[in-house]
Structure 1
């Protein structure tokens, strides 16, 4: 009881300092296998939103995505999907394959709130994003545009977002505004607030939906990335 009171007091004081309270969120890495009790534990600690990575880093469907979504929906108020992108595969084909796979494992559109297209360096399953020159960046922008268009055939625009960081987006796209009509999930500093956000890619703070501030954290007996949602 005392521990819960201390946690509540710290959260309350943090809200007073930053003038606004933000909901806590978590990402489930591919290699993390949380149990139902872990999701319940996260909910008890105030984590109201979860992101399930629905496409493995090798470009194949994550067949446990349905299982993780069901557990998330059982305890959290919002559950999203995140897709890694394979730069060496046709953008439309890989999205169609991913969506077909999700249908095969019985993931319905009603099972998740949003799909995040991950645009990051160092995550490519079959080769890195080319970033040597402006021609590479233009090619990357075209690729991302086709990915977003392919997803939009299955989902409304307001249910599609981009997960990236300011540095990665600048190197990959040359700070293109191609994603401006979609929500932003950015990777920032390790602080539990949004004070580090600097506009990029045409995104303003009003378009920021989520921030990831910590990765590979052991919490509730499983491994999660931690973030905020506003």
Structure 2
């Protein structure tokens, strides 16, 4: 996919352009080949979100290959998710991640949940965490990254408290709630977001031998 097409893909998933269909997909943390992604496409996937930065503060070496395989398998929209490590400068980790998967993805989603990796976990002070989230956003904006935030209401509130830095900056929300329903009818506002852009609705897809969470967004 060309860079211009990737930009279209990023905007597409973020703002949910007005068309007649919804999109099913999944997020993955393990590598898969093109035939697996082709199988997923044949089973209804329109997008995939690949882990590109690991919880211990390093790029995921499998991400570029998985993104290429997803493209070869016919998955049209390909994003990445970034698991922040608070002991690595925000500008460094976002720059490293972007450089590692440059030209292969549409949007980078910051994964905001408990991080158990040594020295990488969130602070007990929610204001400090909010400031770090703001630094991640600033770092992405400085190099032209199209960004989103992944979290659940529980995780956001336990880590960030009343922080609204994502919503205040117009950052799209991909939220987690395992009610097994492709719908935003369960959504309750948090973090300043009054509506989401995508949903992780199940922690097990169960198709094509792939280990993935099930995701959905309307458009």
Unaligned runs of 5+ in 2: 1-19
1:143 equivalent to 2:132? Answer yes
Q: CA deviation at 1:122?
A: 4.0
Contact persistence 2:31–2:62 (CA under 8 A): no
The alignment yields a C-alpha RMSD, in angstroms, of: 1.9
What TM-score, normalized by structure 2, do the two folds share? 0.82
Q: Please report how far the alpha carbon of residue 189 of structure 1 lies from its aligned counterpart in structure 2 after TM superposition.
A: 2.5
Confirm or deny that 1:204 pairs with 2:198. no
Q: 2:42 aligns with which of 24, 41, 44?
A: 44
- Alpha-carbon spacing, 1:203–1:123, altered in 2? closer, same or farther (3 Å): farther
How far is the alpha carbon of 1:129 from its aligned partner? 1.5
- For structure 1, the 5+ residue unaligned runs are 1-19
**Deviations for 1:75-110, whole angstroms, at most 9, x for unmatched residues?**
11210011110022222222223334x1xxxx333x
Runs (4 or more) in structure 1 with deviation over 3 Å come to 122-127
Greater fraction of residues in helix: 1
With normalisation by structure 1, the TM-score equals 0.78
Tell me the equivalent position of 2:152: 165
Decide which of 119, 123, 142 is 1:126's aligned counterpart: 119
Give the structure 2 partner of residue 108 of structure 1: 102
Is 1:183 paired with 2:139? no
Residue by residue, what CA displacement relative to the aligned partner does 1:47-79 show, whole Å, maximum 9, x if unpaired?
A: 101001101222111122111111222311210
Indicate if the aligned counterparts of 2:80 and 2:109 stay in contact, CA closer than 8 A.
Answer: yes
1:108/1:98 CA distance change after superposition, 3 Å = closer
- By how many angstroms is 1:21 displaced? 5.5
